[in-house]
Amino acid sequence: MQACRTLVVAAASRHGGTCEIADRLASTLSSGLPMGWNVVRADLSNLRAFDDADAVVLGSAIYFGHWMHSAARAIKYLKDAPLFDLWLFSTGPISEVDSENAQVISADALVATGQAVEHKVFGGRLDTSHLNWVERVAVNAVHALPGDHRDWDQVDEWARHIAGQLLVVPDRAAS
């Protein structure tokens, strides 16, 4: 019998849209992984949730061109953790200018150095009625488009992709 393995899904979100993506990823991964896998939807306020993880999916909303502080803190914490598989996702402003969408993402560097398996960028949800004046200035500066730009089929597809990759990863405890 295979030992129980743990996948932790966590995200930083200022207005809730990115956490809703993390919720959806966790749900799809739970249904896509066989018995023996425990999918935990963790809060970033307790980084110890990562301590016994065999794999992690970590995401963040992009604010002012960067990951949110709690997600960046989680990345630093995970760099000192025992080796496991790490997938990253970002949700950012959807701009009318494609090059601006690409420029706001820095998590690709972790993939390039082998510290993460993959980095996926999803459209976010932007409701300007919930923004303070500083956020409104930033949104205008990057030409971000208001509305819900999350593609749930794309989120589900990526979760199934991760599940497929996890099914071929040997259990480190058995090694």
Q: Is the whole-model pTM more than 0.75? A: yes
Q: Where are the domains of the chain?
A: 5-168
CATH number of this structure's domain 5-168: 3.40.50.360
Q: Looking at residue 49, what DSSP letter applies?
A: G
**DSSP strands (E only) in 13-102:** 37-41, 55-63, 66-67, 85-92
Give the confidence band of 19 by pLDDT, cuts at 50, 70, 90: very high
Enumerate residues 6+ apart whose C-beta is below 8 A from 62: 90, 91, 92, 93, 104, 105, 124
Query: Tell me: the pLDDT tens digits for 48-92?
Result: 999 989 999 999 988 767 788 899 899 889 887 765 789 999 887
What H or E segment, with its residue span, contains residue 156? helix 152-167
CA dist 89 and 107 (Å) reads: 8
